[in-house]
Structure 1
């Protein structure tokens, strides 16, 4: 007797199931932009108008994060005049589910109608001048995670087997946000994000290594989401909120409580920046 494993085609399409369940709540509402909010940054979701909130637990394939600061819910509505699908919280590699924990959620955003994805995250600084509370637009990444969300069988209907990461962090989107930041008087910086597995914070030696290889900020998320987004054709804007100086650079004892504290401080500027950019996008769409 020969046992055969079910093919991916035989498995239930959880992305389509998630879309159908969301449609039961929002009807024909069609978000233009998707957004993922990181540690301590969920407050931005409270600014969404006419919000409809759906817990991740109700959506097949969505992550079940147990990390403090990640609410675990989807919020759909309007922000700055733009239709939005926002995820409050994410799943991380260190939670034990590999690098694919956010892939189906990202693809659901695409299937719901989004053509752009904003990714926000808390991050440590590898440069003394990028102090806690600062916002840094990510312009590229270095993946030190032991994996990639596209490993395994590829669905050509979603994206190509070999996905280019050229302009993964969209230059035009970054320029638009930079214009808004300058108009609001917010300091602007761009940098290369290094993805580290966690859950331990990096050692001083690891921080020095990341500086040598060209990193500017370090975090435990973001990169798998960006890879998944680019694979299915979403343009990406990613903004890191600096919550600490890397080990050996600053004097504070690193902790998740510190991450949440500075994430909350940075979220004030983040909200001004994102709402301003959304208003810019809405005005452009009306022309």
Structure 2
């Protein structure tokens, strides 16, 4: 743990010397959702590979950049792409960027992802505002010795997704007349294999509305660091366990991109309200 803390501190020092101002808000842009990074004013673009000790992005649909700048006149840090457990990283390693940005002063995390729909009431393209989650990834980013300066040994997750941010997001969606916005429970699985019909049926019975392979470890670290969290899932397809069709990654990415404009409009409405 001491070695990991040293690596985090080195990344913090490197970024502190590079950035113009500390970020208030961190945005994590998942699969097919990196376009918002192009709207940042006065951007400082840092490829992950150039940041000391950062993991390396291996997923082709993730740009792999950290961008500092301003969005809606708010200082932000945007992660264009994330890291996943299935890439071989531990939960602690894949959440390192969130830990670093929290130590640089960020107070709010907005995390987005592309997910498979489990709720039969959803349709492809639904933007699900996450109200709770299930963690089926067999690792926890807080496992091992706790760094008390980073957060408490046993962080409370009774309300991991900030209720006021959820309400604000739903109000913005209504005001901007953004269709297909719902709330639901996200379940994180380890991947990279996709769900069988039996697994899909089980996840539904567990109470999940959408399934993906990310987000939850990042949320745990953000809560540990005292950040407020807003989660947004773009439902790329809806899984029917009784008529499960082959799931093609390229089709998921394409469907997510079709919903990107609506998600971007929603985020640009929400940011000034935070």
**Is TM more than 0.5 here?**
yes
- Structure with greater Cα Rg: 1
Matched, 1:172 2:164: yes
Aligned length: 273
CA distance in 2, matches of 1:11, 1:48: 31
Q: Structure 1 residues 124, 10: closer, same or farther in 2, change over 3 A? A: closer
Partner of 1:79: 71
Q: SS state of the match for residue 246, structure 2?
A: coil
Aligned match of 1:98 in 90, 97, 102?
Answer: 90
Partner of 2:153: 161
Q: Structure 1 residues 95, 114: closer, same or farther in 2, change over 3 A? A: same
Matched, 1:255 2:255: no
Compute the displacement of 1:129 (Å): 2.1
Q: SS state of the match for residue 114, structure 2?
A: strand
Partner of 1:16: 9
Larger mean Cα displacement after TM superposition, 116-125 or 184-193:
184-193
Partner of 1:222: 215
Partner of 1:5: none
Kindly provide the CA deviation profile for residues 96-130 of structure 1, in whole angstroms up to 9, marking residues without a partner as x: 11222332211111122110000000000001221
Partner of 2:99: 107
Partner of 1:53: 45
Kindly provide the CA deviation profile for residues 237-281 of structure 1, in whole angstroms up to 9, marking residues without a partner as x: 000001111253666531210121011111111100001111233
Q: SS state of the match for residue 114, structure 1?
A: coil
- Runs of 4 or more off by more than 3 Å in structure 1? 8-12, 249-252
CA distance in 1, matches of 2:50, 2:240: 39
Q: SS state of the match for residue 160, structure 1?
A: coil
CA distance in 1, matches of 2:182, 2:130: 9
Aligned match of 2:141 in 149, 153, 164?
Answer: 149
Compute the displacement of 1:11 (Å): 6.1
Partner of 2:266: 273
Q: SS state of the match for residue 93, structure 2?
A: coil
Asked if the contact 1:121–1:239 (Cα under 8 Å) also holds between the matched residues in 2, the reply is yes
Asked if the contact 1:204–1:248 (Cα under 8 Å) also holds between the matched residues in 2, the reply is yes
Compute the displacement of 1:10 (Å): 6.1
Asked if the contact 2:109–2:222 (Cα under 8 Å) also holds between the matched residues in 1, the reply is yes
TM-score (norm 1): 0.91
5+ long unaligned stretches in structure 2: none
Q: SS state of the match for residue 53, structure 2?
A: coil
TM-score (norm 2): 0.95
Q: SS state of the match for residue 66, structure 2?
A: strand
Partner of 2:199: 206
Asked if the contact 1:128–1:249 (Cα under 8 Å) also holds between the matched residues in 2, the reply is no
